[in-house]
Amino acid sequence: MDTTPVIAASHLSLTFETADGPVSALTDINLDIKKGEFVSFIGPSGCGKTTFLRVMADLEKPTGGSITINNMSPGEARKKRAYGYVFQSASLYPWRTIGRNIRLPLEIMGYSKFEQTNRVNKVLELVDLSDFENKFPWQLSGGMQQRASIARALAFDADILLMDEPFGALDEIVRDHLNEQLLELWQRTKKTIGFVTHSIPEAVYLSTKIVVMSPRPGRITDIIDSPLPNKRPLEIRDSLEFIEIAHRVREGLRSGHRSE
């Protein structure tokens, strides 16, 4: 495995200027993410986890420190279409069928019609939605819509996938199922994944690295490299190792709160 970091942040900070004065969303963030890692960001609301993901995606500009994506600035990486982004809601276009929604980034990036069709078919298969290509979003359940939006992020083959609480609005059972599928997808595609979540079991189950964050000011309180194997059945959540990591994450979250 390549050891040079895909994403490298050092002393990164971001302060929003609001009407009530400056709000420090991120302070002194130091983090290296290597190629092929699955990194979860967990913490309470306002800890800056989403903001950090948005900084990586060049949707927010940092006010201090530095961050590189594949040795480029986030802006350059965005222009090179280095990452796919999955939002909290599927935000599929209601006037496009599932197939045409996935085609959207390919149209914008100027792929040929033939290549578009190929890629759409490929990613639809990857997320198990092949039979739904010609359905409109409202004809699908919430979980299927979110899978379609993951397929859309995968369609142009960016090697980084940034996901902002993609399963936050789904019920527990659908969520378990999608977590399993996501792990499988990650193992097959070898992508580097940044994943924001509220859920401790989700973070521990999915990640090779868990970044625990805390609010006011948004900062990293703990970085845990998971000892769990890459192959993870759902039952692994009952293992001692799993429970120990979950405990450490919980402790990290609690210490962040105590320091207020």
Partner 1 sequence: MRNTIVPIVIVVVTLAGLWYAAVVPMNIKTALTDAERGGAVVDPSGAKDRRNLSPFSLVAKNTFAIRQTFNQARPRLPAPHQILVELWNTTANKKITSKRSLVFHGWITLSATLLGFAIGTGLGIILAVGIVYNRAMDMSVMPWAIASQTIPILAIAPMIIVVLNSIGIQGLLPKAIISAYLSFFPVVVGMVKGLRSPDPMQLDLLKTYNSNSVQGFWKLRLPSSIPYLFASLKIGIAASLVGAIVGELPTGAIRGLGARLLAGSYYGQTVQIWSALLAAACLAATLVAIIGLLQRITLKRMGML
Interface map 141-180 toward partner 1 (x if CB under 8 A):
---------------x------------------------
How many CA atoms, within 13 angstroms, populate the side-chain half-sphere of residue 83?
Answer: 30
Helices vs. strands in the chain: H and E counts, helices first: 8, 9
Interface map 17-36 toward partner 1 (x if CB under 8 A):
--------------------
DSSP string, 128-175: T-GGGTTS-GGGS-HHHHHHHHHHHHHTT--SEEEEESTTTTS-HHHH
Q: Contact between 104 and partner 1 (CB under 8 A)?
A: yes
Distances (CA, A) of 220 to 3, 91, 224: 22, 29, 11
DSSP string, 14-50: EEEEETTEEEEEEEEEEEEEETT-EEEEE-STTSSHH
From candidates 109, 190, 239, 251, binder to partner 1 by CB under 8 A: 109
Q: Which is nearer to partner 1, 93 or 250 (CB)?
A: 93
138 with 94: CB under 8 angstroms?
yes
Q: Contact between 91 and partner 1 (CB under 8 A)?
A: yes
Q: Contact between 88 and partner 1 (CB under 8 A)?
A: yes
Name residues contacting partner 1, limited to 63-82 (CB under 8 A): 78-79, 81
Report the SS3 class of residue 187.
helix
Q: Which is nearer to partner 1, 124 or 204 (CB)?
A: 124
Q: Which is nearer to partner 1, 11 or 81 (CB)?
A: 81
From candidates 5, 43, 84, 252, binder to partner 1 by CB under 8 A: 84
Q: How many residues bind partner 1 (CB under 8 A)?
A: 26
**ω into residue 217 within 30 of 0, thus cis?**
yes
246 with 240: CB under 8 angstroms?
no
Q: Contact between 97 and partner 1 (CB under 8 A)?
A: yes
What is the smallest separation between the CB atom of 58 and partner 1, expressed in angstroms? Answer: 8
Q: Contact between 112 and partner 1 (CB under 8 A)?
A: no
Strand-pairing partners, residue 213, are 220
What is the smallest separation between the CB atom of 39 and partner 1, expressed in angstroms? Answer: 18
**CA–CA gap between residue 60 and residue 29 (Å, rounded):** 15
Chain residues that interact with partner 1, rule: CB under 8 A: 57-59, 78-79, 81, 83-85, 87-89, 91, 93-97, 104-105, 107-109, 136, 138, 156
